[in-house]
Structure 1
Amino acid sequence: MSFAGGCQCGAVRYRAAKAPAEPHLCHCRMCQKAAGNYFMPLGGVMHEDFEITRGEVAYFHSSDIVRRGFCARCGTPLIYETIGGEHVAITLGSLDRPEDVQPIAHSDAYARMPWFEALFSLPNEGAKDATDSGGERYQMIRNTNHQHPDHDTSVWPEEKTA
């Protein structure tokens, strides 16, 4: 089983030959900034088991020893890498099937938001229950999205047929 993924627009795609090791939620401030979120889910893959299958990853050196890879077109964070290290950490949310890789730990919990545990008790504003699609606005977004599908494609964006 391989683990494929990529950016939101489809310009960059990758494949990992093995499941990401040590999947975790990193709460460090650098990951918060890089993800634009309160944490970043990551998992490691050895370099020999990882390949970019479409496009090119752009990099930002967030420190002297770490670089973060992303899509230069849409900005999706894709990888975290210690320069000269043995593995690359992929962002688990960029996988086509993120549900296949469950985090097993937290890292850098010193920077975790103090109200993190309370997130799970917040009301679900978008839908009344698990079968509700969230209303007309959410349906319009889903029907008109330009996001790459969660699988490899030979051509993207898809060519329009007349």
Structure 2
Amino acid sequence: MQKGSCNCGGVAFQIAEPLQPPSVCHCGQCRKQSGHVWASAVTHQADLRLTAQDSLRWYSASDTARRGFCGTCGAFLFWQHNDEDTISVAMGALEAPTELRLARHIFVADKGDYYDITDELPQNAQ
């Protein structure tokens, strides 16, 4: 079981099943929301159990997705497509050891001009 939380503990969660291999998103929205790139792993919504949620807030990032964050400390924790039963969970919110390794980069066509991707992981334009 994987556990995680925001900085202040106002949002905490457990994930029952193993997470899918994480990816790094380079899209403009993730960069603005996180301050750089956003690393996350996907799980089924039914496998995510919130153990604290008093400060959980949702932001409708687009017509098709929303982003979950802590309204107290501001930590960006979740990304969820409106029409899917999965949810992306911030790698930085997970307690160590995660026993996971990055698998790929996504939305590299939108990456910032201030850095290069120098690892050997697969890169998806979208």
- With normalisation by structure 1, the TM-score equals 0.67
Per-residue CA shift, 1:67-92, capped at 9, x if unaligned? 00000000000100001311010011
1:116, 1:20 → 2: CA distance?
28
2:34, 2:57 → 1: CA distance?
15
2:97, 2:89 → 1: CA distance?
11
Amino acid at match of 2:41: G
Greater fraction helix: 1
Per-residue CA shift, 1:109-131, capped at 9, x if unaligned? 112234533889xxxxxxxxxxx
The corresponding residue for 1:42 is: 40
Amino acid at match of 1:13: A
The corresponding residue for 1:145 is: none
The corresponding residue for 1:156 is: none
Three-state SS of the structure 2 residue aligned to 1:100 is: coil
Contact 1:24–1:43 (Cα < 8 Å) also in 2? yes
Asked if 1:5 is matched to 2:8, the reply is: no
Contact 2:21–2:101 (Cα < 8 Å) also in 1? no
Contact 2:78–2:87 (Cα < 8 Å) also in 1? yes
Higher radius of gyration, 1 or 2? 1
Contact 1:19–1:101 (Cα < 8 Å) also in 2? no
* Number of matched pairs: 118
The corresponding residue for 2:104 is: 105
- Relative distance call for 1:3 and 1:118 in structure 2 (3 A) is closer
Three-state SS of the structure 2 residue aligned to 1:32 is: helix
Q: Which runs of 5+ in 1 are unaligned?
A: 121-162
Amino acid at match of 1:71: C
Contact 1:15–1:51 (Cα < 8 Å) also in 2? yes
Greater fraction strand: 2
1:100, distance to aligned residue in structure 2 (A):
2.3
2:97, 2:84 → 1: CA distance?
24
Structure 1 runs (4+) deviating above 3 angstroms are 117-120
The corresponding residue for 2:86 is: 87
Contact 1:92–1:101 (Cα < 8 Å) also in 2? no
**Residue pairs, 1:69-148, within 5 angstroms:** 69-97=68-96, 99-117=98-116
